[in-house]
A and B are shown apart, each in its own frame.
Chain A
Amino acid sequence: MLQLDEVHTYYGDSHVLQGVNLEVARGSVVALLGQNGMGKTTTIHSIIGFTPPARGKIIFKGINISGLPPSSIALMGMALVPQGRRIFRSLTVRENLILGYRKTKTDKTAYDLERVYELFPSLKLRSANRGEQLSGGEQQMLAIGRALLTNPDFILMDEPFEGLAPGISKELRQKVLELKKSGMSILLVEQNIEAALQLADYVYIMSKGKIVHGGSAAQLQGEKDIIKRFILL
Chain B
Amino acid sequence: MTPCTSSRLLRLVVILILLVLPFVLSSYGLSIFTKVLIFGILAMSLDILIGYTGLVSFNHASFLGISAYTVGILAVHGINNFWLTLPAGIIAALLLAMVLGLLVLRSSDAYFLMITLAFGQMLYALAWRWRSLTGGDDGLAGIPRPEIGLPISMNDYHNFYYLVLIFFGLSFYALSKFIRSSLGRSIIGVRESESRMQALGYNTWALKYLAYIVAAGFAGLAGVLFVYFNGFISPEDLSWSLSGMIMLMVIIGGAGTLIGPVIGVGVIFILQNFISAYTERWPLFIGIIFVICVMYARNGIVGYLLKLEAKRRRCNESPGSKEHL
Residues in A with CB closer than 8 Å to B185 are 91, 95, 98-99
Q: Does the CB pair B193–A74 fall under 8 Å?
A: no
Q: Does B20 touch A at the CB level, under 8 Å? A: no
Report the separation of the CA atoms of residues A230 and B291 in the bound assembly, to the nearest whole angstrom.
53
Which among B188, B198, B200 is the interface contact of A146 at CB below 8 angstroms? Answer: B200
Contact pick for B188, options A48, A49, A90, CB 8 Å: A90
Bound CA–CA A89/B188 (angstroms): 10
- List CB contacts (< 8 Å) of B176-232 with chain A: 182, 185-186, 188-189, 192-193, 195-204
A residues near B (Cβ < 8 Å) are: 48-50, 69-71, 74-75, 79-80, 82, 86, 88-91, 95, 98-100, 102, 146, 150
The interface on chain B, measured as residues whose beta carbon lies within 8 A of the other chain's beta carbons, has a size of 17
Q: Given B186, B189, B192, B195, which contacts A70 in the complex, CB threshold below 8 Å?
A: B195
With known contacts A71-B204, A95-B185, A98-B182, A86–B196 Cβ distance under 8 A: yes
Report the Cα distance A74→B203, complex, angstroms.
Answer: 10
A49 to B201, CA, bound (A): 11
**Which residues does chain A contribute within 8 Å of B203, judged by CB atoms?**
71
Q: Let me know if A70 and B198 touch, CB within 8 A.
A: yes
A91-B185, A91-B188, A99-B189 are known contacts. Are A71 and B202 too (CB-CB below 8 A)?
Answer: yes
13 other contacts beyond A50-B199, A88-B188, with CB at 8 A cut-off? A69-B198, A70-B195, A71-B201, A71-B202, A74-B198, A80-B196, A80-B199, A88-B189, A91-B185, A91-B192, A98-B182, A99-B185, A146-B200
Instruction: State in angstroms the CA–CA spacing of A188 and B186 once bound together.
Output: 27
- Tell me how far the C-beta of B137 lies from the nearest C-beta in chain A, rounded to whole angstroms: 44
Total A-B residue contacts, Cβ distance less than 8 Å: 53
Instruction: Judge whether B199 and A79 touch: CB under 8 Å.
Output: yes
| Interchain CB contact under 8 A, B188 and A71 | no
Given contacts A71-B204, A86-B193, A89-B192, A48 and B186 within 8 Å (CB-CB): no
Flag if A82 contacts B196 (CB, 8 Å): yes
What distance in Å separates the Cβ of A225 from its nearest Cβ neighbour in chain B?
37
With contacts A88-B188, A88-B193 taken as known, whether A70 is within 8 angstroms of B182 at the C-beta atoms is no
**Does B192 contact A100, Cβ atoms closer than 8 Å?**
no
Residue of A nearest to B196 (CB): A86
CA distance A102 to B196 in the complex (A): 15
A55 and B179 CA atoms in complex are apart in Å by 42
What residues of A have a CB within 8 angstroms of the CB of B193 in the complex? 86, 88
- Contacts A95-B185, A99-B186 given; indicate if A88 touches B199 (C-beta within 8 A): no
Closest residue of chain A to B199 (Cβ to Cβ) is A80
Contacts of B199 in A (CB 8 A): 48, 50, 70, 74, 79-80, 82
Are B201 and A74 touching (Cβ within 8 A)?
A: yes
Instruction: Determine the distance from Cα of A111 to Cα of B165 in the docked complex, in whole angstroms.
Output: 46
Question: Please, which residues of chain A bring their CB within 8 A of the CB of B192?
Answer: 88-91
Measured CA separation A70–B203 after assembly (Å): 9
Question: Nearest chain B CB to A101's CB is how many angstroms away?
Answer: 9
Closest residue on chain B to residue A81 by CB atoms: B199
